[in-house]
Amino acid sequence: MRIAVRAAGVNPSDWKRRAGLYRAFDVVAFPSGVGVEASGIVDEIGPGVTNVSIGDAVFGMGRSTVAQQAILTHWVRKPDDLSFEVAGGLSVIIETALRSLDDLGVRPGETLLVSGASGGIGSAVLQIARSRGIAVIGTASVRNQAYLRELGAMPTPYGTGLKDRVRALAAHGVDAALDVAGSGIVPELIDIVGEASRVVSVADFTASRHGARFSAGPPRDPDRVLAEAARLCGEGHFRLRIDRLFPLERTAEAHEVSARGHVAGKLVITVP
């Protein structure tokens, strides 16, 4: 199914894939564009597609989605009260959040530590975990502490002394930890949790060297994930903060901002 793209999310995987960091497990056929998620208006339908019509507003996953037109391989109808900009940035973070929480096996009543919690994936993990009755401690820069608190997390700065700060916030300890930032913190997270099997990274390729797990795509059960994303947003259980919008011609700049980190929410490319 093809859409006229209205918005496409920017993810760290975009610039990492472009830099060749994913070549060990993600084959890219050239010529290739960038982007793996988008929202827009259906303008062409392939054989066997029966759940949407030309003119419908949708969002979902595909390849080379940062473009005026893109092919989606998995999609769902966009709720009427959900903007194209928000919808364009939902698919990857919801899928990654659900996948990482499943990998960690974290349960209601437990405490989860999220390193790099203010970005798109981190903010999705916080909200979904809280909706499941999981207590969350999130690390972020000082300027993003209030944002984490708004999402229901116990915020703390990253850096030296993290273990002591976490101990002060979680008197009974931390049951699991998720590394979203890929800042080389996996060994410290293992020390805090006390069990490498309950530490997962979605950003540090070396996690397995320390006994933790590296969680990567392809997406698991993407149709279920997209339906869940639409449900969460439609029922008001999830909100996505857009840090910055970039026009299509400034995609390279958006990748540079993503690579520098410290994003609060999601970066999104808009297409007129």
Q: What is the CATH number of the domain that holds 12?
A: 3.90.180.10
Do residues 97 and 210 share a domain?
yes
Q: Provide the domain count of the chain.
A: 2
* Rounded distance between C-alpha atoms, residue 176 and residue 104, angstroms: 7
- Beta pairing, strands 199-201 & 213-214: parallel
Where are the alpha helices (H) located in 138-216, listed in sequence order?
A: 145-150, 162-169, 186-193
Q: What is the pLDDT of residue 216?
A: 83
The rounded Cα 175 to chain-centroid distance in angstroms is 22
Do residues 144 and 197 share a domain?
yes
The rounded Cα 268 to chain-centroid distance in angstroms is 13
Do residues 139 and 128 share a domain?
yes
Q: Is the dihedral of CA 50, 69, 87, 42 positive or negative?
A: negative
The answer to whether residue 14 sits within a structural domain is yes
> Helix axis angle, 120-131 relative to 222-234, nearest 10°?
70
Average pLDDT over residues 157-180: 95
Do residues 113 and 86 share a domain?
no
The answer to whether residue 234 sits within a structural domain is no
Average pLDDT over residues 31-46: 95
Do residues 24 and 110 share a domain?
no
Do residues 182 and 99 share a domain?
yes
Do residues 123 and 70 share a domain?
no
Do residues 66 and 104 share a domain?
no
Tens digit of each residue's pLDDT (9 = 90 or more) over 74-97: 999 999 999 999 999 999 999 999
Do residues 29 and 113 share a domain?
no
- Residues near 220 by beta carbon (within 8 Å), at least 6 away in sequence: 95, 98, 99, 102
Do residues 118 and 19 share a domain?
no
The answer to whether residue 8 sits within a structural domain is yes
User: Residue 92 region, left (φ>0) first, then alpha (ψ -120 to 50), else beta?
Assistant: alpha
Q: What is the pLDDT of residue 29?
A: 81
The CATH number given to whatever domain includes residue 133 is 3.40.50.720
Do residues 79 and 102 share a domain?
no
pLDDT above 80 for 187: yes
Q: What is the pLDDT of residue 59?
A: 98
Q: What is the pLDDT of residue 235?
A: 86
Average pLDDT over residues 132-138: 96
* Rounded distance between C-alpha atoms, residue 207 and residue 104, angstroms: 14
The answer to whether residue 132 sits within a structural domain is yes
The answer to whether residue 78 sits within a structural domain is yes
The answer to whether residue 226 sits within a structural domain is no
Q: What is the pLDDT of residue 241?
A: 94
Do residues 51 and 141 share a domain?
no
What domain range is 145 assigned to?
A: 93-214
Amino acid at 235: E
The answer to whether residue 230 sits within a structural domain is no
User: Residue 148 region, left (φ>0) first, then alpha (ψ -120 to 50), else beta?
Assistant: alpha
